[in-house]
Amino acid sequence: IIGIECISPSSSSSSMAEQKKVKVAVIGGGVSGLSAAWHLHTLNDGKDYDVHVYEKEDRLGGHAYTVPVPDAGGNNTIQVDIGFMVFNSGPNGNYPNLSAWFQELGIEEENSDMSLSVSLDAGENIEWSSNGLNGLFANRWQAFSPEYYTQFLGEMLRFHNEAQELLLLHPDDPRRVGLTTGQYLSQHRYSTVFLRNYLYPMMAALWSASIEDVNQFPAEQLISFLANHKMLQLLERPQWKTVKGRSQQYTQKVQAVLGDEHVHLSTPITSLVQVEGSYDLYSNSKSVGTQFDHVIFACHPPTTKALMETIHTAQPEDVVSKLLSEIKYADNTIYVHSDPKLMPKRRHAWASWNCLGKSDLIVTHSCRPNKAKKGEAFEGGESGFGATLNGSTTNGDHHHSSPAADEENNTHNRMKAVYVTYWLNKLQNLKTKEDYFVSLNPHTIPDSDKIHHQLTLAHPQFTPATLQARKELLSTLQGQNNLWYCGAWEGFGFHEDGCRSGFTVATQLSQQPLPWATSETSLVLPPPDMTKSFTTNKSFLRRCHNFWTRDVPIAICRPLLHYFLQSAIQHGKLVLKFNDGTTKEFGNGNLSKLKYDIGTVTLRIYDLWFYVKAALEYDLGLARSYMAGHYVVEASSENDRTLVDPLLRPAVGEVTPVLGDPSGLTRLFLLVIANRDRSDLYVHRKAGRGGYSNALTNASGLFLGKLGSLYNYFQYKWNMNNSEHGGSLKNIHAHYDLSNDLFLTFLDKETYMYSSAIYDSILKEGRLAYQGSLEQAQWRKLDTLLHRAQINQKGLKLLDIGFGWGGLSLHAAKKFGCQVYGITLSVEQKKLAEERVKAAGLQDQITFEVVDYRTFARRLENRGRFDRIVSCEMIEAVGHDHLGEFFWACEQLLHADGVLVMEAITTPEMRYETYRRSTDFINTIIFPGSCCPSLHALVHAAYQNSCLTLEHVSNIGLHYAQTLNEWRKRFNAKVNTVRALGFDDVFLRVWNYYFTYCEAGFFSQTEHCLILVWSRQGCQALQPLAITEN
């Protein structure tokens, strides 16, 4: 722990007697405060520390809250617990410190029951409990429902088996870090039935949270809790216990140990003042304690924040306050009552924990995983397909109500879907005929004559921001200026978490272990390691399955890929780094022979399945492995960073555990390109080389990769098509209709152009240097396209094929007065483009239509209609087999003296025949069915199918590399917005891979972006292109 100021005890009792006691104030008398105070007070028979506990209530215990309720008949009362109720002990228990503490205090325990039930829609929709078959089929009609067996019970078992695997991942694994519950459930494709009937009600009730909040919970937090409480296993579940005589037994025992002079009840601390290195405490302006050497905040973070703001020390309180404000608590209305209408409808469905709610509110649009239909979005893009910032998204609603209204209705809105009722008779072994319940935030208030107590208790709410804040607070600020923080919020919010937190602070302060902490390295018993039981409790069949389906493929593919990389990476240096710290290096390390300044490229391998994906699928396997989170590229070391081209360095804050170093992907691709194209690989290329066998050359030297590439190619040919009737529409829809709000996170804010910009560039030290903003560069590109088309007079009729979000159409209409007709296959793009046209007041000049270019060209009224046609990066969606159709259509639409200007991403002729007969990341995942043609293929298609002639060519490919670099940085700067749209971490990796994959191609000039001018022979409109430019 950084910044801890420790007080070490003297080596002898005689010297300690001469030393003044260390005064410690503990603010908060809950389990955290009591455990911290008990440890310090009992050390060396109380000779070391003078501890004082301050509690605002008239009792100790916090959530260890015992209250009297009238017994049947009302003549007597019995004691019941309404907060902390159960724990467990023994070798299989997960309350090690609490149970050991209870033994030290001499607290008696008795067996309890932890059964669960779910009852939705007053038992009409679903009602079951974990009390045997009678409870499981409490609603008898469920026995005749197939989905009850397959989607509920079957997926419950699958979840129990799969969920624990998350905790076996490396702590820094991108599949684990930052993963929300909603993302996890979506990625693993759990059904609505399972979520509605089991997981959502249980989690919402357990943490007193809304369904939206449950979706936002870190998946690791949720699964860790379930594993920690042995809820992911059918066998070796612990016997749950409850305190005999209720929890007041232990709070009273601790109070007696501390002594009345050290316990200050009904004393809320309202301010602290630092005086010469010590602290004075005040309660409502009244001094209640002075000269404390240490202060332990064992209260809720909102209270701690308010108190910290009263202190004036050298410590950065603004940082502490900011972190504490991220650790959220929420109030819960609690009823102690005897009204059975807040229990399941059927008595045999009653359990210790009863989750009751409304199915229509549990299963909302915001929590349904996989809302995109199969094949509707591109691979990896399903999570947020079609989402907007103004509507519901996969991972939570975005409300726009006022803060005051949110605060007023917080509890109601949070728990409107489900609430929980505890059956105290079963939990606490009550010897009475009367039933007693505790209901949290019930939808129906119990009958007034059956309510025994009504109160409010606060519970921690766990979000990614909460986990990050508490991690930073405890690792960097704990103990600074002798101020300490503890509470159940440091764990899962339960009693063991609270006492462990208090004990941790106290032992760090004293540097003395707890009496039951026998380890030399641990002062407090740590939480049990659940991963050990995961690996040892697997069945024989499951171990066999893992061996043949995972271990054997990895064992085969790993040496094969190593052998391939040994021969493929000759120049530069590629390092594979594994979970155990070992590395494997490839290449001679000589960076001078590379064309690009990329430094050493280090892949951090988290999952060895990377070898199987890369060996079997080569290019696509490398992409899919990154998408899945099997590896990331590490940022360059400080020494290596100076060797990297500034254009290939990440932006500030761009390197994250989820993405790694995105710019590192660009460096990886450049390393591969440089070795692929090194001079000693050049061979004589035979004219007309082609054939479907060329799909194999995508993985030259890797036999399994050849088979995988061939398989991917046939799958691509079977599923992808660019036909006029449906194929092209489907492919365009899968990418361009993802979400307009998604594209706006990275496109320039003025033109919305989704194509290469043209920067103001100069040659500096032998390299291009780019000047100006992306917005300025896009305006320059639009002017260039319109200049190439010789749009130099008002009233020209312009056809914009694939108009995107209308940037070029709007510019042509505004600046030159053109009559513009735009066609597209993207419904979403047309919608936003028309909004922009309306906002500009250009409805009389611009018309947009969703129609295929071939259908549009067949309309007789369109023959020879347009003076100019501009197609900006649309030709890639046409496909090689349909290039001729495109040129035929353009010639049909052009006026006799018309001009076609095309911006096209092209593949060099040297690789084109191989490329078009194979698959890659772009044409399979990002732009399904796409093909970046060679210049020769375009000229040949124009010659074969039209009278159009190529008149002018310019290459802006290097500008595209800079455009993609800027898009990536803007996108990653808006990652929270992307997540708010519902897109998950898989999508974030897909999009970064896309940007960097393309950037590397243009940066290395192995992909081109050409502006091509076409016309019929003798076109007078193009004479200005012959003007000599100085």
Show which residues are catalytic: 998
Tokens standing for residue 488: 């159940």
Residue 460: beta bridge partners?
329
Residues 6+ apart with CB under 8 A from 171: 177
Give the closest residue to 197 by CA, choosing from 343, 350, 357, 352.
357
Task: Report the amino acid identity of residue 752.
Answer: Y
Task: Report the amino acid identity of residue 647.
Answer: L
Whether residue 352 contacts residue 240, with contact meaning beta carbons closer than 8 Å, is answered with no
Whether residue 491 contacts residue 220, with contact meaning beta carbons closer than 8 Å, is answered with no
* Residues 195, 126: Cα–Cα separation, whole Å: 12
Strand arrangement, sheet containing 631-633: 583-586, 574-577, 601-605, 631-633
* Residues 264, 53: Cα–Cα separation, whole Å: 6
3-state secondary structure at position 25:
strand
How many CB atoms sit inside 10 A of residue 532's CB? 9
Give the closest residue to 644 by CA, choosing from 602, 607, 585.
602
Whether residue 977 contacts residue 909, with contact meaning beta carbons closer than 8 Å, is answered with no
Give the closest residue to 606 by CA, choosing from 635, 632, 627.
632
* Residues 741, 88: Cα–Cα separation, whole Å: 49
DSSP line for 74-132 = SSSEEEEESS---EE-STT-S-HHHHHHHHHHT--EEE----EEEEEGGGTSEEEESSH
* Residues 230, 242: Cα–Cα separation, whole Å: 17
Residues 6+ apart with CB under 8 A from 168: 531, 534, 535
Give the closest residue to 52 by CA, choosing from 220, 293, 350.
293
Residue 51: beta bridge partners?
24
Sequence length of the chain is: 1030
Give the closest residue to 816 by CA, choosing from 782, 772, 841.
782
* Residues 980, 642: Cα–Cα separation, whole Å: 36
Q: Could you tell me whether strands 286-292 and 631-633 are parallel, antiparallel, or unpaired per DSSP bridges? A: unpaired
DSSP line for 435-478 = --EEEES-SSPPPGGGEEEEEEEEEEE--HHHHHHHHHIIIIIT
Tokens standing for residue 861: 């009224």
* Residues 856, 873: Cα–Cα separation, whole Å: 19
Give me the phi and psi of 844, to 5 degrees please. -80, -10
3-state secondary structure at position 610:
helix
Written in H, E and C, the secondary structure of 779-826 is HHHHHHHHHHCCCCCCCCEEEEECCCCCHHHHHHHHHHCCEEEEEECC
Give the closest residue to 247 by CA, choosing from 351, 112, 352, 412.
112
CA atoms within 13 A on the CB side of 734: 27
3-state secondary structure at position 329:
strand
* Residues 353, 117: Cα–Cα separation, whole Å: 6
